[in-house]
Structure formats: C-alpha cells, structure tokens
Amino acid sequence: MIVDLPSSTTSAVNRKLVELREDGGVQALGRVLTLVIITDDGSAVEGAIEAANSASREHPCRVIVLASGQRKAAPRLDAQIRVGGDAGASEVIVLRGYGALAAPEAGAGMVTPLLLPDAPVVAWWPGEAPAVPSEDAVGRLAQRRITDALSAKNPLKAFEQRRAKHVAGDTDLTWTRLTPWRALLATALDAPPHEDVTSAVVAGETVSPSTDLIAGWLVSRLGVKVKRSPAASGPGLVSVVLERPSGPVELVRPDGKVGSLRQPGQPDRLVALPRRELRDCLAEELRRLDPDEIYAGALAGVAQTTRGRTPVTVPALAVSS
C-alpha cells in the first residue's frame, strides 16, 4: 500500500502511520533500527528503497528516505508512506523537501520526530555523501554511517575523504564488497603449511577504492610489505598474491565474475566472485551496529602500501564447459 501526503508535515505523517496501524494492522513494533537514506530526488531513490526493502527482511526496520528536491522552489514537504507488500518487512516513509526544506539541517529536523524510540539509527548515503559524515546534521543522529565512495562522481577523492575523516561508526560499501575476497584469503592461510606471508601484491583498476582497501587490510593484519599495482585488464579488484616460502597463494579474477584460488601442492579452484549486489552489502552492514575496527585498521594501512607503476597481467581462466 502506498499513501501519498502532498504538502504535508511530519505530524501529519505520524498521525497517518498510527491510523494505518489501527485500521490495517500494519506492524510498527518489532523494528530493530531506523534506517535513514539521504539522497537527491531522482532515479536513485527507487533503487535505494528496493535495496532497503530487501535488507529489511533480515533486519526489520523503519526506513526514512530524505529525497532533496529543488532548492529554488517554494518550501514544501511532500510525504509518502509505503507499507505491506510495497515495503518488504519494513515501513517506508519518503520525505521530499523543497526550498529551505531541502537543506541538510532541515532534513535532520524532519527525521527526528519519525525516529523509532529506543532504537539505533543508521544513516546511508547511496550516492554523494558529505565530506565528513559524522559532522552532517543527519549523521550526528546515527550510530552507524554508511557511504559508498564508488558511487561518487570522483571515487578516489571520496575514498581519500573517508580515510582522512574516519571516526568510529563510519563504514563504506567499498569495504563490504571485499568480504568474499577476505574470507577466501583467510581460509587459504588457515590451511597447511601455516607459513608466514613475506610480502603481497594487489592489482586492480587505477580507480578502485576496494583494491586500495584490501591492500591496507593485508598491511594491518599481516604486518608485511604490500604493493598496490594497476592491472593490465579487468574490472575492479583483479588479483591478490601472497608470497610464502613454499610458494605463493594467488586469488585472481580477470573477468569480474569468476575467480581462481591457486596454492602450492593443491589443484586450482574456481570460485564465484561476482560484484556483490547492493542489497547484500547493505544487509551485511546492518548486522553490526558497533564500530568496525578491522575496517578502521584497513584504512590506516592504506598509507603504508607501496605503489607499483608496471601493470600486472593476469591470464584468462581456463573454464571447462
């Protein structure tokens, strides 16, 4: 069910939520958090809501979408409430502010009356994010702040801002996309012969914050020299090579879909490594509401990596039919 409330107020939205709950039995209780999505009023809104609806099946929540409209328009708040089949396991409140109500400070004022009592608040910027999310008006309300440097107009600049201004509670989806890579590498190192890693080489696209992050993660967790090199071809993160006395552990993904894990004395293993869906990344981030210390360590480790200039060539995988 979708209920439109044009030229409305937050008080009217609250009253309508109560009315829907009383008349239709819409569940407003049992929510574990409030997810606030901050974005411009455009095509990105529906994609963000779809991802939030999918994630809400694992984390029932109230979703509040701040979709900023035209700043030059007359002040107006258009609201929309989505419940039932149009809201997954959540209830979605879309607030479109125009004029003065499109400013970030006004957005925080509109969100506050709609927050669930005694529930954590998570702020998510699916597109462009403020340089310092923790100092943003909405960011100050949140225990966790989720950004995505890869979706910014300048991903490298956005990533550097995340590194320089990181505070506890911040996270970025460029980190979440690395979970399968980190799991495979950790599993490989847990198997015999249990040797120390002496050095590592990470290769990926020049503009790939995830490649920088996994290099920083290896520095912070292994305490070895890590070289971050460009890849001759392939999207995003392409390869990770961990040098050990008995031979290297190699995880390569030349096509952005299928990877190969190679270890001395073992047959090559093909693994599925497609780029993760937005809904999966968001659901993973909502599983934890405490600061991510491993992510903070990876950010700090980026500064300790060395830069290679020679492109690394990774051969195509021989996938049998």
- pLDDT value at residue 71: 86
Q: Is 301 helix (H, G, I), strand (E, B) or coil?
A: helix
* Single-letter code of the amino acid located at 210: S
The predicted model scores a pTM of: 0.93
Residues 205-220 have pLDDT tens digits of 999 999 999 999 999 9
- pLDDT value at residue 42: 76
30: left (phi over 0), alpha (psi -120 to 50) or beta: left
Q: Please give the structure tokens belonging to residue 157.
A: 């600049």
Cα 113 from Cα 248, distance rounded (Å): 56
Question: Which residue ranges make up each domain of the chain?
Answer: 2-147, 179-307
Query: DSSP of 156-225, one letter per residue?
Result: HHHHHHHHHT--TTEEEHHHHTTHHHHHHHHHHHHSTT-PPP-EEEEEE-SS-HHHHHHHHHHHHHH-SE
Per-residue pLDDT tens listing for the chain (321 residues) = 889 999 999 999 999 988 888 876 545 456 889 999 999 877 789 999 999 999 998 989 999 999 988 888 899 999 999 987 766 767 899 999 999 998 888 999 999 999 998 999 999 999 999 999 999 999 999 999 999 999 999 999 999 999 999 999 999 999 999 999 999 999 999 988 889 999 999 999 999 999 999 999 999 999 999 999 999 999 999 999 999 999 999 999 999 999 999 999 889 999 999 999 999 999 999 999 999 999 999 999 999 999 998 999 887 776 544
Cα 226 from Cα 305, distance rounded (Å): 5
- pLDDT value at residue 25: 59
- pLDDT value at residue 321: 41
| CATH no. of 2-147 | 3.40.50
- pLDDT value at residue 30: 66
Q: Are 49 and 86 in contact (CB under 8 A)?
A: no
- Listed in sequence order, the residues at least 6 apart from 151 whose beta carbon sits closer than 8 Å to its beta carbon are 126, 127, 128
Cα 307 from Cα 140, distance rounded (Å): 36
What kind and span of H or E run contains 242?
Answer: strand 237-243
